[in-house]
Structure 1
Amino acid sequence: MDGSGTEQRAAETVLNAAITEPETFDSKELNRILHLFESTDKTVRLSASWALGLVVSANPEAVTGSVRALASLLESEPESVHEDIIRALGYIAAEYPELVRDAIEDLDLRDDVHNKQLIASIRDRELSGSVTTLTGEASEYQGLGTAAEDDETVEEPPDREERGRPPTEPPPTPPPVEARREAFDPIKSRGSGSHVDLWLVRYSDRERTHSALLTQIQHRAPAEFDTEFTETLNEWQSVDDHDAIVPVVAHGTIPKPWFVVEYQEGQRLSDRLGSLSDREARWIIDRIVDAVCHAHGSGVIHGGLTPRNVIFSRTYDGNVWPYPKISNWGISQLLCQLSALPMGVPPMYAAPEQVKPDQFGGVDASTDIYHLGLIVYELLTGRLPFDGQPGVVLQKVVEEQPPPASQFTDELSDGVDTVLAKCFRKSKLYRYNTVQDFRTELRQALSGGAI
Structure 2
Amino acid sequence: MSSGAGPEDSADSLLSVFGTPLLSALESDADRAAARALCLLADADPSVVPALTERLVGRLPEAEDTQVLVRTLATLAADHTDAVRRVVADHRDRKRLSSAIADATVWEFDRAADGGSVLGAVRQAVDSQQAEPVRPGVVERETDTSGRTADPERAADREHRGDPAAVTRRERLARAEQSEAFQAISLLGNFEEIAVVEPEQAVRYGSVLRTRATIDGEDHGVALRLFDPPDDEEIRRAFGAGVAEALAQWDGLAVHEGIATVHDWGDYPRPWVATPYLDGTLADRGRVGVERALRETAHLAGALAHCHNNGVVHGGLDPKTVVYPSSELSGLPAPRLDNVGILTMVREHVQPANYLDPRYAAPEYFDRSYGTVDAATDVYALGAVCYRLLTGRPPITGEYGAVRKTILTEGVPAPSEREPQLPDAVDAIVRKATAGRKLSRYETAAEVRRDCWRLVRSLPSDEQS
Q: Would the alpha carbon gap of residues 255 and 282 (structure 1) be closer, same or farther in structure 2, given more than 3 Å must change?
A: same
Q: Distance in 2 between matches of 1:255 and 1:391?
A: 38
2:305 aligns with 293
Q: Are residues 1:273 and 2:286 paired?
A: yes
Q: In structure 1, give the amino acid aligned to 2:433.
A: C
Alignment of 1:137-286 (within 5 A): 180-181=188-189, 183=191, 184-219=194-229, 222-264=236-278, 266-274=279-287, 276-286=288-298
Q: Distance in 1 between matches of 2:345 and 2:138?
A: 43
2:137 aligns with 121
- How much has 1:306 moved relative to structure 2? 1.0
1:168 aligns with none
Alpha-carbon RMSD: 3.8
CA contact (8 A) 1:415 1:448 kept: no
CA contact (8 A) 1:406 1:413 kept: yes
- How much has 1:371 moved relative to structure 2? 0.6
| Residue-pair matches, total | 297
1:307 aligns with 319
Question: 1:320-374: CA deviations, max 9, x gaps?
Answer: 2233222110223445445345574122111101112x22122111111001101
Q: Distance in 2 between matches of 1:421 and 1:138?
A: 44
- How much has 1:286 moved relative to structure 2? 2.5
CA contact (8 A) 2:432 2:441 kept: yes
Q: In structure 2, give the amino acid aligned to 1:180.
A: L
Q: Are residues 1:364 and 2:380 paired?
A: no
Q: Would the alpha carbon gap of residues 421 and 225 (structure 1) be closer, same or farther in structure 2, given more than 3 Å must change?
A: same
- How much has 1:99 moved relative to structure 2? 11
Question: 1:38-69: CA deviations, max 9, x gaps?
Answer: xxxxxxxxxxxxxxxx9xxxxxxxxxxxxxxx
Q: Are residues 1:352 and 2:354 paired?
A: no
Pick from 416, 429, 454: which aligns with 1:406?
416
Q: Distance in 2 between matches of 1:133 and 1:299?
A: 41
Larger Rg: 1
Q: Would the alpha carbon gap of residues 407 and 337 (structure 1) be closer, same or farther in structure 2, given more than 3 Å must change?
A: same
* TM-score, length-scaled by structure 2: 0.56
- Which secondary structure state, in structure 2, belongs to the residue aligned with residue 232 of structure 1? helix
Q: In structure 1, give the amino acid aligned to 2:269.
A: P
Q: In structure 2, give the amino acid aligned to 1:285.
A: T
Q: Would the alpha carbon gap of residues 412 and 100 (structure 1) be closer, same or farther in structure 2, given more than 3 Å must change?
A: closer
1:432 aligns with 442
Q: In structure 1, give the amino acid aligned to 2:427.
A: D
Q: In structure 2, give the amino acid aligned to 1:234.
A: A
2:340 aligns with 329
Question: 1:285-333: CA deviations, max 9, x gaps?
Answer: 222222212222212221111111122122253x722332221102234
Question: 1:363-406: CA deviations, max 9, x gaps?
Answer: 11111100110111121123333222221111101111322222
Unaligned runs of 5+ in 1: 1-53, 55-96, 105-117, 140-176
Unaligned runs of 5+ in 2: 1-64, 66-126, 151-184, 460-465
Q: Distance in 2 between matches of 1:435 and 1:99?
A: 42
* TM-score, length-scaled by structure 1: 0.57
Q: Distance in 1 between matches of 2:272 and 2:261?
A: 15
Q: Distance in 1 between matches of 2:419 and 2:344?
A: 34
- Which secondary structure state, in structure 1, belongs to the residue aligned with residue 301 of structure 2? helix
- How much has 1:120 moved relative to structure 2? 3.2
- How much has 1:179 moved relative to structure 2? 7.0
CA contact (8 A) 1:195 1:338 kept: no
Q: Distance in 1 between matches of 2:392 and 2:385?
A: 10
Q: Distance in 2 between matches of 1:133 and 1:354?
A: 43
Q: Distance in 2 between matches of 1:136 and 1:428?
A: 44
Q: Would the alpha carbon gap of residues 134 and 435 (structure 1) be closer, same or farther in structure 2, given more than 3 Å must change?
A: same
Q: Distance in 1 between matches of 2:306 and 2:267?
A: 27
CA contact (8 A) 2:190 2:264 kept: no
CA contact (8 A) 2:298 2:448 kept: no
CA contact (8 A) 2:256 2:303 kept: yes
Question: 1:168-225: CA deviations, max 9, x gaps?
Answer: xxxxxxxxx9972594432222412355121112221232121111111234764333
Q: Distance in 2 between matches of 1:138 and 1:268?
A: 22
Q: Distance in 1 between matches of 2:221 and 2:291?
A: 31
2:393 aligns with 383
- How much has 1:98 moved relative to structure 2? 6.1
Q: Distance in 2 between matches of 1:260 and 1:254?
A: 13
Question: 1:237-269: CA deviations, max 9, x gaps?
Answer: 1111111211111111111111111222x1211
Q: Distance in 2 between matches of 1:257 and 1:232?
A: 10
Q: Distance in 1 between matches of 2:271 and 2:149?
A: 29
1:69 aligns with none
